[in-house]
Structures are given as C-alpha cells and as structure tokens.
Homo-oligomer: A and B are copies of this chain.
Amino acid sequence: MDKQTITIYDVAREANVSMATVSRVVNGNPNVKPATRQKVLKVIERLDYRPNAVARGLASKKTTTVGVVIPDITNIYFSTLARGIDDVATMYKYNIILANSDENSQKEVSTLDNLFAKQVDGLIYMGHNISDAVRAEFSRAKTPIVLAGSVDPDEQVASVNIDYKAAVKDAVALLLQKGAKKVAFISSAMNEPINGEYRLAGYNEALAEAKIPYDGNLVFETDYNFRAGAALWDKLQAVGADAAYVADDELSVGVLDGALDHGVKVPDDFQIITSNNTFLTEITRPQLSSISQPLYDIGAVAMRLLTKMMNKEAVTDKTVLLPFTIAERNSTKK
C-alpha cells in the first residue's frame, strides 16, 4: 500500500532522540526541552512525517472517531442535524463515520456492529424507532451513545430533542385558534414513539382544551416525501378536514401542492402547519407556518454532550430539551 512509510522510529533516529520523545512532541506533551522539541519538529518536517492514527488508536485505545447512524442523509431534517454534529465533532478533533440506515433495524444492527468493531469512541444515533435488536447492540457496547432529534421513551440512553408533545400542542392550538374545526394529524408510522406517543398526545391535548372530540379518521400515516403528501389530498377532502398538522416539511409541501393543484385556497380554505422549519417552508407560496426547532443546534448539542461522556465528565442531564417556537407564515390565517 504505502511505498515507504516513515515512522516515529525514523524520526527518532534522525533526530537522535528516543521514540518516546518524538511521541511527546507530537502529542504536545510539555515535558520536552524547547531545543529538543525544535530539533524533532525540524526532522518531522524534513521527513514529512505523519503519525499513523491507526497505530495510535491501537496503543491508546482511542480513535477520535465517532459513529453516526442516520436514517437518510438526503432528508434535510437529518442532514441539518448531521451538519451540527460534524461541526462540533471537528471542533473537538473528532471525525464522524456516517452510515445511512433507512431505519431498517437489521441494517442498523450490522452497522452498529461494524462501528463498534472499528472502536468508535462514541456514537450518535438518529432514528425514531429503537428496535430491541438495536437496543441490545447499544447495551452490548461500552461506548457512550447519544440520540439526536430522536426520543427514547425509556430514557435509557442520552438524548437531545425539543418537547415534541408541547410543540405539537401549540401548533394545533394555533390552527384551532385561527378557526379550524377539523384538524388532520399527518405523520409517518404511529408505532414510532415520537409520533404515536408524543406528537399525538400534543394533538389530543390541544383538541381537549378546545373541547373538540378526537376523530380517528383525521389521523393519517404516510411516508415523508412530497408525493405522499400530494397523494393524500383526496382523503383529506373526503373527511372534510379544514386544516392539518404535518410532521415533516417535505410532506407538508406535498399537501400544500395537493391543495393548490385542486384549486383550494391556502390558508383561506385549508390551513397547514408543519414541523421542522427547514428552508422548504420559505420557498413555497404561500410560505408554510411551522414549528421551529433548532435542528443544527440539536445536532451540535448532541455531539457536545457526547464529547463530555467520552471524556468521562459528569453529565447532569441525560435528556436535554432545547426550546422551540412557532413560526407563523402564510399557510395559517392572520
């Protein structure tokens, strides 16, 4: 592979010092006489020496690499989280191994197995449904793990989120306050805790406070892409919905397009509020009102939390909730 890799040994010999000394200067250990340090540094430069991180990892049992399991990097929600993660990782001198999981439990398990085999120092997991098999992998590993933008109902593993229930409650309450009578709830699989437990609970609370009975016909499960949203329009109209809370921005755009393409006026005849406040909410006409959650920050804070855990620092709260707001745009009435 390598032609003639130069090692710490070569540097030591050329500089007339021991390997230990070279190691010290490379690692910024202060116990080196300045003159010696300079001498070594010169040789390092002359030989174009680059420390082998793999050997270092073997010897030190630290790889400065963290694993990142993500459902689909192509989804703006996740790519924004990932960007926050990577930026903070870089800040703390870590690299991330990124692996798309498609929320497929089997794929997740083999990915985790692989990541742990590679001795990642920590792991960030994104995914809305932690299967038992995945949970087993988690406990099998002795590596710190943090969830980003994903809830663990059991609160066994650390996580960074917003308060999904409160956020959806506020969102639906806004719709109701603006005159909506039949608010649809649209998300992906309800067996994902984030939907079935948190978001739906928020929806129900808002309904209850407005003394509106829950109607199961108004609850829809579908995929997170705009085609699915557009395809949903007929059903929405069939049940007489006059507004919708939607759990994903791309899906919301689909619903909006469905309405528009059928000549329905938004927000006059149909109101929409979405969940992630990505730039999609701003490019549509009308622009979409949305829950505003700090995705980049969720990723960043999750990674920061992970650095603390990897560093064995005391962590006060394993579950951190970041604040959210509601961004009122033009898919809800004034």
Which residues of A line the B interface, CB within 8 A?
Answer: 1-3, 48, 50-55, 57-58, 61-63, 65, 68, 72-74, 76, 79-80, 82-83, 86-87, 90, 95-100, 113-119, 121, 140, 142, 225-226, 250, 253-254, 257, 260, 279-280, 282-285
Which of B73, B257, B260 interacts with A82 by CB under 8 Å?
B73
Set of chain B residues within 8 Å of A226, measured between Cβ atoms: 279, 282-283
Q: Assess A73 versus B52: contact at CB under 8 Å? Given A2-B142, A226-B279, A285-B257.
A: no
Question: Which residues of chain B are near A280, meaning CB under 8 Å?
Answer: 283
Q: How far is the CA of A140 from the CA of B48 in the complex (A)?
A: 9
Contact A58 B55 (CB under 8 A): yes
Q: Which residue among A50, A95, A140 has the maximum number of chain B CB atoms within 10 Å of its CB?
A: A95
Q: How far is the CA of A206 from the CA of B331 in the complex (A)?
A: 41
With beta carbons under 8 angstroms apart, the residue of B98, B121, B257 that contacts A283 is: B257
Which residue from B2, B52, B76, B98 sits with its C-beta under 8 Å from A76?
B76
What chain B residues lie within 8 Å of A96 (beta carbons)? 97-99
Closest residue of chain B to A52 (Cβ to Cβ) is B119
Nearest 5 CB-CB pairs, A to B?
Answer: A98-B98, A53-B118, A54-B57, A53-B117, A1-B61
Question: Is the beta-carbon distance between A113 and B50 smaller than 8 angstroms?
Answer: yes
Beyond the given pairs A73-B83, A95-B97, 15 more chain A to chain B contacts, judged by CB atoms under 8 angstroms and listed by A's residue number, are A1-B61, A1-B142, A50-B117, A53-B114, A54-B119, A58-B58, A73-B73, A73-B86, A74-B80, A79-B79, A86-B100, A96-B98, A97-B97, A98-B98, A285-B285
Chain B residues, Cβ within 8 Å of A61: 1-2
Bound Cα distance A72, B72 (Å): 15
Q: Report whether B117 and A51 are in contact in the complex, using a CB–CB cutoff of 8 Å.
A: yes
Cβ distance A141 to chain B, nearest Cβ, rounded Å: 9
A118 and B64 CA atoms in complex are apart in Å by: 10
Q: Are A54 and B48 interface neighbours, CB within 8 A?
A: no
CB distance from A248 to the nearest CB of B (A): 13
**Which of B55, B86, B99, B116 contacts A90, CB < 8 Å?**
B99
Q: Are A74 and B74 in contact (CB under 8 A)?
A: no
Please give me the residue from chain B that is nearest to A67 by CB atom.
B95
Name A3's contact: one of B82, B116, B142, B254 (CB within 8 Å). B142
A76 touches B74 (CB 8 A): yes
Of all chain B residues, which has the CB nearest A4? B142
Question: A116 near B50 (CB under 8 angstroms)?
Answer: yes
Which B residue's beta carbon lies closest to that of A100? B86
Distance in Å from the Cβ of A159 to the closest Cβ of chain B? Answer: 22
Closest Cβ of chain B to A216, distance in Å, is: 29
